[in-house]
Amino acid sequence: MGLLSGLNGLGLGNFEDMDLYAPPVKDEEEEIPEEKPAAPAKPAAPEIKESDYVFEKSYTCPVCNKEFKALTVKANRARLTGTDRDLRPRYENIEPLKYDVVMCPTCGCASITRYWQGITDAQRKRIKEGISVNFVSKKYTDDTYSFDQALERYQMALANAMVKQAKPAEKAYICLRAGWTLRSRAENLDPDAADYQEEYERTRTMERDFLENALEGFVTARATDTPPICGMDDMTLDYLIAALSVEFGKYEQAAKLVGSLLTNRNISSRMKNKTLELKDDILKATRKK
């Protein structure tokens, strides 16, 4: 798997051959409380500099107990300008997804913000043994995170999720957000750069790798977990799985979910419209074949 190919520099090159959705090794089952989803961002006055949208937030590492700071997006500051077909949000002047991983610079414990709280004793031990012993300390000193730093942080979150044997939903959620971050990276590449085409294709290929793994994990989570999954109600999750399925040519799976969404009486008008658009995409794609 190439998802974690960037972690050599952090001392974690051994993650390359690990199976993301390998069944968990038996250990005491412990429930991890999920954080409640944040309130949707309200529009605010546009700003120019990305660093104006972020601040240094203090965290205490649940594994090594050291305090550290990580850049975090200020609440309600960024203005939402739209969403992609697979629900990826787009913001003006900033990519908040770059700031969604909290990572301890001392021991390498990393997680997306949603799952930062609520680590179990068994998981703490696994992270110490599977991450911290090899981790090469990493400090981020700029006032923003670059896309490459953000990717590295997502890879660390994914490595942590694998080591702590997180549920498929958590791994899928990391892959989804990493994939979206890579799409954003591709969109923000300088088209005048000499290696633009090469970098664009490399980035979009990585995006697809992550999103394909996200799809696999969400399909498993849907079959095994009870909603809300990663803060998504069952209709949102079904829509997301359908949209990702279309992306990977799994039209039958997508059509099934779209059909059940459109007959659901509780569907919101916004979700219904998006689902109808998706249905059109499925029809167009399957007619061409």
Specify the residue, 106 or 144, whose C-beta has the smaller distance to Zn ion: 106
Cα 153 to Cα 250: distance, rounded to the nearest angstrom? 30
DSSP 8-state symbol, 113: G
Q: Which is nearer to Zn ion, 107 or 267 (CB)?
A: 107
Task: Return the residue matching tokens 């199976």.
Answer: 19
Contact between 63 and Zn ion by CB under 5 A: the answer reads: yes
Please tell me whether residue 61 binds Zn ion under the rule CB under 5 A. Answer: yes
**Quick one: CA dihedral 261, 262, 265, 267, positive or negative?**
positive
What is the identity of the amino acid at 109? Answer: C
Which candidate, 157, 100, 102, 150, places its Cα nearest to that of 131?
A: 157
CA gap 54, 226 in Å, rounded: 34
CB-count exposure of residue 126 (10 Å: 0-12, 13-18, 19+): buried
- Give min distance, CB of 148 to Zn ion, in A: 22
Least gap, CB of 141 to Zn ion (angstroms) = 18
Q: Which of 32, 44, 64, 87 binds Zn ion (CB under 5 A)?
A: 64
Q: Which of 195, 210, 219 is nearest to 154 (CA)?
A: 210
The verdict on 163 binding Zn ion (CB under 5 A) reads no
Of residues 119 and 182, the one with the C-beta less far from Zn ion: 119
109, 157, 214, 282: which one binds Zn ion (CB under 5 A): 109
Question: At a CB cut-off of 8 Å and minimum separation 6, what does 75 contact?
Answer: 38, 41
Stretch that binds Zn ion, among 87-95, 108-116, 150-158, 278-286 (CB under 5 A): 108-116
- Residue 84 host element (H or E): none
Q: Which stretch binds Zn ion (CB under 5 A): 105-113, 116-124, 247-255, 257-265?
A: 105-113
Interaction between residue 101 and Zn ion (CB under 5 A) = no
For Zn ion, which is the closer residue by CB, 63 or 159?
63
Minimum distance of Zn ion from residue 66's CB (angstroms): 5
| Nearest distance, CB of residue 135 and Zn ion, angstroms | 9
Binding window for Zn ion (CB under 5 A); candidates: 25-33, 48-56, 57-65, 263-271: 57-65
Angle 167-170-172 from CA coordinates, rounded to 5°: 105
CB of 260 to Zn ion, least distance (A): 44
Binding residues for Zn ion, rule: CB under 5 A, are 61, 63-64, 104, 106-107, 109
